[in-house]
Amino acid sequence: MKKINIGFLGNIYFDTRTFNLYKSLKDSEHEVKFIGYDWLTENFKSIREDSIKITKLNKRISIIFYLYFFVSQLIDFLKIKTDIYVSSDFYSLPASVIAAKLKHAKVYYDSREIYTELPALENRPVLKKIFMTIEKFFIKKVEVVFTTGEMDSEYLERLFNINNTCLLRNLPLMAKEIKPVDYYKLYTLPSDSTVILYQGIIVHGRGIETIFRAVAKDETIYLVIVGGGEDIEYYKSLTYKMNINQRVIFAGKIPQTELLNYTAGAFAGLSLIDNISINNKYALPNKLFEYIMSGVPVIVSDLIQMEKVVDKYEIGAVIKESNEDELLAKLSQWKGNKELYNNLKENCLKASKELNWDNEFSKIKVLFN
């Protein structure tokens, strides 16, 4: 049994990846602690439990925010006795490495994004250089770098001249029972309407505006958005400007224990990520696999890794980036061809028996022994 600490700039109860890792390590009888910091969840209050600590942060001036976060996290890390520090994102990497060196512990880095190529850095060369310098220095000091896709591994190994990456895709836990939420009853929707779903972080570059344009063109479509993020107010405002606010529902953040029930209530799950950065180009998000686990056919943009999954398992459709007309055409096709649609649903459920966290974690479990 190992003592393991997971550090994260986020909330474990609203993040599939950290939640699943924490649960799997616990089930493997390790002594696991989670130390996180939440600055996005509305009305959130800090949590102090035996193995989970989540501190509420207030984001104001960015540099002050990150310095305060770093110092607070490092102090928290140094207070505990740990065999393995898991940095669950780039932001927790410096404190994890420093604490591990002082505590003579191992460090595993979960590179869930290609952080140096985040869309938010595209027009901020100075900040991008800072990210690059920090990651290049600290990534050399970790034992294992987890990535969410094969192309992410290849890119990071070339970029930083490393050879210790390990694939750990964003797959959901195998669902024992899913009770689909009845959106028609919950939100009093017309019985002849079609409910489509976007779930995940609400930020620019995730294809949300493409979906909005589709909703604007077809009054029978209702969009449910599950999740939160920095740009949520922008998109709420945009629904009013586009006169679709009555048909776009912001359902908020849903706890991991309930998430798949909300996923399963939709007609189609969308992952229309814009190809505006290398990070986005290689995207293989957890929402794609959550749709599959819930038996919901998917519609994705033509990005390399997502397209490969959709084509291999025949669980949905691939459309051109930023093309709302193709999105509407696919939805119309599925509504008009029940046999095709039901086959896609069946293929999702078949694929979920392979594409689940239980299988994925079993491949890397030995690293924590």
| Same domain, residue pair 361 and 348 | no
pLDDT at 240: 98
Terminal-residue alpha carbon distance, the chain: 7
| Same domain, residue pair 221 and 104 | no
Orientation of helix 62-78 relative to helix 93-103, angle to 10°: 30
Per-residue pLDDT of the chain (369 residues; tens, 9 = 90+): 999 999 999 999 999 999 999 999 999 999 999 999 998 888 899 999 989 999 999 877 678 899 999 999 999 999 999 999 999 999 999 999 999 999 999 999 999 999 999 998 988 999 999 999 999 999 999 999 999 999 999 999 999 999 999 999 999 999 989 999 999 999 999 999 999 999 999 999 999 999 999 999 999 999 999 999 989 999 999 999 999 999 999 999 999 999 999 999 999 999 999 999 999 999 999 999 999 999 999 999 999 999 999 999 999 999 999 999 999 999 999 999 999 999 999 999 999 999 999 999 999 999 999
What range defines the domain where residue 326 resides? 183-352
In a domain, 175, yes or no: no
| Same domain, residue pair 282 and 212 | yes
pLDDT at 58: 87
In a domain, 98, yes or no: yes
Domain count, the chain: 2
DSSP state, 121?
G
In a domain, 72, yes or no: yes
In a domain, 176, yes or no: no
| Same domain, residue pair 225 and 326 | yes
pLDDT at 41: 87
| Same domain, residue pair 123 and 202 | no
| Same domain, residue pair 112 and 256 | no
pLDDT at 190: 97
In a domain, 334, yes or no: yes
Query: Which residues does residue 271 pair with via DSSP β-bridges, in sequence order?
Result: 300
| Same domain, residue pair 199 and 336 | yes
In a domain, 178, yes or no: no
Return all residues near 80 (Cβ < 8 A) that are at least 6 apart: 3, 5, 33
| Same domain, residue pair 190 and 136 | no
| Same domain, residue pair 156 and 263 | no
| Same domain, residue pair 56 and 205 | no
Q: List C-alpha distances in Å: 225 to 6, 84, 135, 178, 228.
A: 28, 36, 32, 19, 9
Q: CATH number of the domain that 88 lies in?
A: 3.40.50.2000
| Same domain, residue pair 136 and 30 | yes
pLDDT at 50: 87
pLDDT at 218: 98
Look at residues 116, 168, 171, 167 and name the one whose alpha carbon lies nearest to residue 139. 116
In a domain, 177, yes or no: no
